[in-house]
Structures are given as structure tokens and as C-alpha cells.
Copies of this chain bind each other. A is one copy, B any other.
């Protein structure tokens, strides 16, 4: 297959494949179905670094014993695992006329404290989802670093160079070769401010829950056996406790339209608000399927053979 061909897979087909892989790895049926639905929700929305791209690694961890596949009762955010795109969780309350906030400790430390070189912090994401009325919802899902580490992994798998500003090496010089990612670390947004955001929300998502944060974060890219004890925090605000939901959503529409109506800086052709690209990708991928690059297809074909399940493209 030529390298630039990316065959697409339908959303439902992708869910079936992920579900089969989880069940083949010993995950109970209901959990496999839920996990497949959530993972494919990342793919359909274009958060490719958090979707089926991660499946071979998740399965490797499950097989290696680093993940509890038979949780008893309700599992809190203390003993969580890598959970995919933050927006998936922040967006869940939207359909109930609620606002969602989601914070998590990342599953590998790629960020030193500001001014340091020891990687003691992760790319701890911040996600906030607010519903609108006629407009798509506003959904922010951002790493506190300039680039999420998933983007570095995607660049490495696709053999692409990273832009300057994503990573520096231990001498403070720009690092643009993703295969050299181990020689440096990610840069936080706004310098010390981004490092501080990662620290403070990491305390809320991790330390407060008795979950990993700091030196005890397990690098799940390299260690398949140690439980990650990932911490997540979800906060849901019921709009009607503050305002009439319809009026609120109409007001969110008004703010969105004000922002879209702004005159533009040279070099820009439109105002892009958080969640809009995601919304467009969901519509586009629902219609045309989810693109699976050749490198990923090869990894998933190998996974299917290992697990004795039908391949994604039958």
C-alpha cells in the first residue's frame, strides 16, 4: 500500500474491532463495550493521539499485568488508567444541560518544573465543555504543554519533524526530531505559567485523590507492568442552579457570534473557537469514516493476529 493512502473505517466498525480486542485480552464484556465506545469517541472527534492509536499499548499493559481488568464496584479516580481524550469526559454532561470540567495527571512525566531538567510533571490536561444553543458547544481540551505528548508519538510514527517550541533538550536547545524525544522534554505554555497549571491541577487530579503525581508517576510508554494509579478529577456544574439553561445557552451563542465577528489579524482567515474543529471532524468522520494511516493499520493487523480476532479491514 502506498504510504500516503489512509483507508477509512466506519465508526461502528472501529468500535466492534476495539471491543473484540479488549474481550480477547480478558476484559469483561460490558467493560470492553464501554471502553471501545470511549476510545472510538476520541477517533471520531479527531483526537487521534488518544484513540485506536493507543490500543496496541493498552493491550500490552493489560497482558503484562499493569492494569486491573476486574475492578470491584465503583472505581474512583484514584486507581484509574490512561483514559483517552479529556474532551470525551468533559463533554458528557453537555446533553444534560450541564457544564463539564475534567483534569487528569498524564501517564508519563515529560515536563520538568520551570527552570529544571528533571521530568517530575506530566502534560496534565485541562478540559472544559460548555453547551450553546444553535452553535456547536465550546469544548476546550488542552495539554498544559505547547504540544501534547501524543502529538510527539504521532509525529514519530509518521516520521515527521516537530516544529520548534514543542520540545527542548537538556541544554535548553530546540529539539525537533521526535525519535530523539527521550533526550529532552516538552515546553509548558506561557513558560512558568503552564508549568504551574500542570502542577496545581495535577495536585487536584492526582495527590488529592491518593493517585500518582510527581516522581511516582509511571511512564506507561516504557513500563507495562506497574499499575499507573492515574488520578482524574471531574467537576459537573448544573446550569439551572445558576441560570435558566435556555437563556444561558442563547447567551453563549451570542458570545460565540461576537467572537466570530471580530476583524482579523493579518495572516488569519477566520476565528477558530475551542471545540469547533472537533465538531466538524465528528460530522466529517461520521460521514466518511475514520482514517487509519498505514503504520497504524500494520500495528492493528499485528494486534488482531496476536489476539486471534478478525482484522479491522476484513
A273 interface residue, CB < 8 Å from B?
yes
- The answer to whether B172 and A267 touch across the interface, beta carbons within 8 angstroms, is yes
Chain B residue nearest in CB terms to A192: B272
A140 to B118, CA, bound (A): 21
Interface contact A99-B264, CB-CB below 8 Å = no
**Chain B residue with the shortest CB-CB distance to A168:** B265
A265 to B: closest C-beta gap in Å = 5
- Whether the Cβ atoms of A265 and B172 lie closer than 8 Å is yes
Distance (whole angstroms) from the CB of A220 to the closest CB of chain B: 19
A199 and B274 contact, CB distance less than 8 A: yes
Q: Are A116's CB and B189's CB within 8 A?
A: no
Tell me whether B215 and A248 are in contact (CB under 8 A): no
In angstroms, Cα B262 to Cα A215, docked, is: 11
A197 interface hit (Cβ, 8 Å):
yes
**A63 CB within 8 Å of chain B:** no
Q: Write the A123-144 contact mask toward B (1 if CB under 8 angstroms, else 0).
A: 0001010100000001010100
User: Are the CB atoms of A210 and B115 closer together than 8 Å?
Assistant: no
List the B side residues contacting A128 at CB < 8 Å.
200-201, 204
From the candidates B120, B142, B209, B262, name the one contacting A259 in the complex (CB within 8 A).
B120
- Please report which residues of chain A, range 258-292, place their CB below 8 angstroms from some CB of chain B when the two chains form the complex: 258-268, 270-274
List, in ascending order, chain B residues with CB within 8 A of A258's CB: 120, 214-215
B193 touches A99 (CB 8 A): no
Interface check A65, CB cutoff 8 A: no
* Complex Cα gap A113–B235 (Å): 26
Least CB distance from A172 to B in Å reads 5
A-B contact sample (20 more), CB < 8 A, given A117-B263, A207-B255, A235-B235: A99-B204, A112-B265, A113-B259, A113-B271, A115-B264, A115-B265, A115-B272, A116-B265, A120-B259, A120-B262, A138-B200, A142-B190, A172-B266, A189-B190, A196-B273, A199-B255, A199-B274, A207-B251, A208-B237, A214-B255
List 17 A-B pairs, Cβ < 8 Å. A112-B262, A117-B264, A117-B265, A128-B204, A130-B200, A130-B203, A130-B204, A138-B200, A138-B203, A172-B265, A190-B190, A199-B274, A200-B274, A203-B255, A207-B248, A207-B252, A235-B235
| Chain A residues packing against B (C-beta within 8 Å) | 99, 112-118, 120-121, 126, 128, 130, 138, 140, 142, 146, 170-172, 189-194, 196-197, 199-201, 203-204, 207-210, 213-215, 235, 237, 239, 242-243, 248, 251-252, 254-255, 258-268, 270-274
